Amino acid sequence: MGEPVYAKIAVVGCGLIGSSVVRAARESGVAGRIAVAETSPVARERIVALELADAVFEDAAEAVADADLVLFAVPVMSMETAARAAAPGLKPGVTITDVGSVKQHVAHALIAAVPDTAFVIPGHPIAGTEQSGPDAGFAELFQNRWTILTPQARDDAPYREAVARLSAFWSGIGARVEEMDAKHHDLVLAITSHLPHLIAYNIVGTAADLEGVAEAEVMKYSAGGFRDFTRIAASDPTMWRDVFLTNKDAVLEVLGRFTEDLQALSRAIRWGEGDKLFELFSRTREIRRGIVAMGQESAEPNFGRDRGKH
Ligand code: NAP
């Protein structure tokens, strides 16, 4: 176990992602003490039963007292409420971060909610599953996955030191860390994560409503591709509602492009243009091979969970 990067951390919201950070921080030794704040009484009970943290609170201000790092792991649209609740307990010089899937919206929310003495460094681990709650988390979730930090545009030494320290924290729990502009993050994630989820929600909804095909048949023959969409479409409704409402511009932009490309495909099928289809399917196969070559191919939901880790 290495030296703690922070003497005390507080995690506000301890569901799938928050509890995975807590578990990983414990196992790796990057945090001295760990406090958790959770509004859900059921989740609090589970966190205590699983002995995940040194202290568990309902009130975020109590949990963050004396913390050197406060990490918000609540749904994107709850970030501001959670940060406002924590604000009275924050010590000067504390680093404030989060794991929200949308970065511009969260950056504004956090900066508005906490005192100027705090260093706000938004972040997003590109790792997760379709599960929710503290029982679903596991320490290995971030291993070899990217965590994107979207620091503010300031280069004063204390702020840059805070960024370096937060980066060391994520590296310490196994992640690879990259810095990015928040707007760029939101565009990249709109195509790599948000749109795929929207497509999955849509295709599963369409199949459920399709006349002439029984629901039993949809389930029985799901191995033909549909099954993978149903896994994604099982993702948390609150989390994903918040993502689409707060990353509206980028999602609508990539959705527009997607719709145009889908029209072109539909035309190629109608006119029997096999070459066009073959050329696209060959290019996409190369992209998949590239992902495998980069070691990012493992199906995250099965990683760790199959081994019964918590
Ligand atoms: P989750 O399992 O539902 O956990 C969120 C927890 O936060 C819930 O227990 C929730 O309680 C609690 N909470 C809500 N508002 C709160 C508040 N104001 N103060 C304290 N606790 C509060 O969700 P998750 O999947 O971990 O997602 C958390 C964040 O991570 C989201 O911003 C999401 O965008 C981001 N993220 C998720 C994934 C993923 O794959 N799931 C991946 C990367 C990033 P209630 O149930 O009572 O509301």
pTM score:
0.93
Structure tokens at 195: 């749109």
Q: What angle do CA 240, 243, 244 make, to 5 degrees?
A: 90
Q: Which amino acids bring their CB within 6 angstroms of ligand 1?
A: 12-13, 15-18, 37-40, 43, 60, 73-76, 78, 81-82, 99-101, 124-125, 128-129, 132-133, 236, 239
Ligand 1 pocket test: pick from 12, 17, 84, 142 the residue with the most ligand atoms within 8 Å of its Cβ: 17
Nearest CA to ligand 1 atom 11: 40
Distance 187 CA to ligand 1 centre (A): 22
Q: What pLDDT, on the 0 to 100 scale, is given for residue 216?
A: 86
Question: Which ligand 1 atom sits closest to the C-alpha of 126?
Answer: 43
Q: How far does the centroid of ligand 1 lie from the alpha carbon of residue 2, in Å?
A: 28
The rounded distance, in Å, linking the Cα atoms of 98 and 87 is 14
Q: 43 near 22, Cβ under 8 Å?
A: no
In this structure, are residues 149 and 180 in contact, taking their beta carbons and an 8 Å threshold? yes
Structure token pair of residue 43: 């989740």
Nearest CA-CA partner of 125 in 66, 167, 157: 167
Q: Is the dihedral of CA 54, 60, 64, 70 positive or negative?
A: positive
Residue type, 172: G
**How many angstroms is it from 76 CA to the middle of ligand 1?**
8
> What is residue 307's predicted lDDT score, i.e. its pLDDT?
32
pLDDT in tens, 238-263: 999 999 999 999 999 999 999 999 99
Nearest-atom number in ligand 1 for the CA of 12 is: 20
Q: Which of 101, 96, 94 is nearest to 127 (CA)?
A: 101
pLDDT digit string (tens) for 45-92?
A: 999 999 999 999 999 999 999 999 999 999 999 999 999 999 999 999
Q: Centre a 10 Å sphere on the Cβ of residue 242 and count the other Cβ atoms it contains.
A: 22
Q: Count helices and strands (H / E) in the chain.
A: 13, 9
Mark the ranges of the chain whose per-residue pLDDT is less than 50.
300-310
Given the CA of residue 300, which atom of ligand 1 is nearest to it?
Answer: 40
Ligand 1: which of 14, 22, 23, 39 to mutate, most ligand atoms within 8 Å of CB? 39
Cβ neighbour number for residue 225 with a 10 Å cutoff: 9
* Phi, psi (deg, nearest 5) at residue 91: -90, 150
Contacts of 250 (CB under 8 A, 6+ apart): 186, 187, 189, 190, 194
- Closest ligand 1 atom number to CA of residue 235: 41
Q: Determine the distance separating the centroid of ligand 1 and the alpha carbon of 206, expressed in angstroms.
A: 28
Distance 157 CA to ligand 1 centre (A): 32
Q: Whose CA is nearest to atom 41 of ligand 1?
A: 128
Integer-rounded Cα Rg, in Å, for the chain is 21
User: Could you tell me the sign of the dihedral formed by the alpha carbons of 298, 164, 55, 74, in that order?
Assistant: negative
Domains along the chain with CATH numbers: 6-180 (3.40.50.720), 184-307 (1.10.3660.10)
Per-residue b/e over 246-271, b at no fewer than 16 CB within 10 Å? bbeebbeebbeeeeeeeeeeeebeee
What pLDDT does 305 receive?
A: 39
Taking the C-alpha atoms of residue 232 and residue 34, their distance in angstroms, rounded to an integer, is 31
